[in-house]
Amino acid sequence: MAAMARPLPPDFPIRSQLLARLYDEQRRAGWIAPGFADAIARELRLPVAEVWEAATSYADFRSAPLIGDEVRCAGLSCQLARGAFAEMPSEASHCLFRCYDAPATGGEEPFPAPMVRQAGPLLAPDITNTDRLNAARRLGRDAALNAVAESGLRGRGGAYFPVGTKWRAALEERRPIALVVNAEEGEPGVFKDRALLSLAPRRVVEGIAIAAFILEPAVIVVFANGQADPAVRSLEEALDIAEPQLDVAIVRGGGGYVLGEESALLNALEGRRPVPRTKPPYPVQSGLFGMPTVVNNIETFANLSVHFGDVPGFRTRGTPETPGTKILSVSGRVRLPGAYEVPLGVSLRKVVEQSGPAVAGEVAVLAGGPSGGFLSAGHLDVPLQPGILHATGAMLGAGGIVVLDAPGDIRDAALAMARFNAEESCGKCTPCREGTPRLYDLLAAGDVDGIDGLAEVIQFGSLCGLGQMAPGPVRSALHFWPGVFA
């Protein structure tokens, strides 16, 4: 099958071709042999050790052929539905991002429209013209930039950084800008970018066009999840019919939770080992090959289009600090899993009740996935907004909400998150690489006395946000249900 991808500009450094070559080889052969690494190193004139670094640093790339097993989803909701945590074959398993369809097997599918349980402007029927881009154009670049800043729009990838502030910082560099569209979506339990790309791709493309009008980037790159073929195909179709045409490269990733860290994603695009960089400099100062680089999430681009469709109306949804809507990915022990587009600030309890929890004991929630934390039934009256929802770890993040049965599911779910963080550590920094496997071991052994000290080292010592937040699920589970780990 031809990979859905579009090459980076030919005048980019040649090493930028490495990820695409490795990706194609993995798809073609099912693994990346040392001999292939040698050949590609000669062709791209890179040291073979650097090629091998990249070839061995992605979740989906294999250095030996994988025979046999059907791919079974390893996401939390599918493990719950299957009821077999211990039996998961780790080699052939990864999240299939169909948590509404648990337990999922096989591959990815286009997001089904009936799984939109609650739509707002983002998940409304897709747009058919470019009225909102035209509205931005009529304002002119400067006024459109001011409108973005005044909208209060914050990035929807999980960190909620103000979009206007990020863009101004890149523009202030007064050098050619790289615009990176983050369609990597690699957090198990989150499927909102796939929903947008499947159901509202023209909305997303219009948002990219608006950003391109304001930022005038020298290059636009979509970094697309390597497994998400249906979503990428839908995006390509929308790009093909976009008026005016956008010159966009599409690079497919090799998988790995660390790609949610934007500097690791930029290293991946540069053909380097995908590990986080130290900051400063921030990507807006020096990102892709040193260019001032704006990285925004698919849902952020869709919000840009929504904003320019109704500038005064944008702030009427959500909170004053975080206007607009957010797509929640709800799954687990519920009768109505799927995508819920809600105004930011809505009560978590309301969302949980809407989804129809079906539990034997008490309702519990995992909010924010492997970087978030658990909440007990008594702690659901919190507004869903950026920042932590509970001091022990729960947060909105990318909007993953898994409903659980407490106490029955808690031990398995906490161990699954701890194991995920250990397996997905990129390996660059010592606290995360060495600490997260031991955190799992301590929890599995019920040796809870040592956990506080180790969790502190991982949280405050790790280089990037993923390590810093890795203790959240463990700490929150121990806080609310200490008895289940004894």
- Our CB check for other proteins shows the closer of 79 and 421 to be 421
Distance separating alpha carbons of residues 408 and 415, to the nearest angstrom: 13
In the complex, the smallest distance separating the C-beta of residue 465 from other proteins, rounded to whole angstroms, is 14
Interhelix angle 451-461/430-444, nearest 10 degrees: 160
CA distance 124 to 130: 16
Measured CA to CA, the distance from residue 1 to residue 88 in angstroms comes to 28
- Decide if 225 contacts 107 (C-beta within 8 A): no
Q: Which helix (H) or strand (E) holds 252?
A: strand 249-252
CA atoms within 13 A on the CB side of 367: 31
C-alpha atoms less than 13 angstroms from C-alpha of 35 in its C-beta half-sphere: 2
Question: CB-wise, 32 or 327, nearer to other proteins?
Answer: 32
Contact between 262 and 295 (Cβ < 8 Å)? yes
Q: How far is the CB of 334 from other proteins (least distance, A)?
A: 32
Nearer to other proteins, 66 or 84 (CB): 66
Minimum distance between the CB of residue 227 and other proteins, rounded to whole angstroms? Answer: 17
Nearest to 471 by CA among 453, 485, 486: 453
Binding site for other proteins (CB under 8 A): 34-35, 37-38, 41, 46-53, 55-59, 63, 256, 273, 277-280, 422-431, 433-438, 453-454, 456-457, 460-463
Query: What pairs with residue 338 in β-bridges?
Result: 330
Rg (CA), the chain: 21
The nearest distance, CB 459 to other proteins, in angstroms, is: 9
Can you read off the two tokens belonging to residue 94? Answer: 């990864």
Closest CA to 273 of 15, 484, 1, 7: 15
| Residue 95 neighbours by CB distance under 10 Å | 25
Q: Based on CB atoms, which residue is closest to other proteins, 98 or 272?
A: 272
Smallest separation, CB 53 to other proteins (Å): 4
Closest approach of Cβ 391 to other proteins, in Å? Answer: 17
Q: What is the DSSP string of 286-318?
A: S-GGGS-EEEEEHHHHHHHHHHHH-HHHHTTSB
Q: How far is the CB of 52 from other proteins (least distance, A)?
A: 4
- Choose between 405 and 424: whose C-beta lies nearer to other proteins: 424
Q: Which is nearer to other proteins, 93 or 430 (CB)?
A: 430
Residue with tokens 């079906």: 358
Q: Indicate the residue among 150 and 447 with the shorter CB distance to other proteins.
A: 447
Task: Write down the least CB distance from residue 49 to other proteins, Å.
Answer: 4
- Of 238, 256, 258, 471, the closest CA to residue 370 belongs to 471
Nearer to other proteins, 94 or 326 (CB): 94
Looking at beta carbons only, is 121 or 253 nearer to other proteins?
253
CB of 177 to other proteins, least distance (A): 23
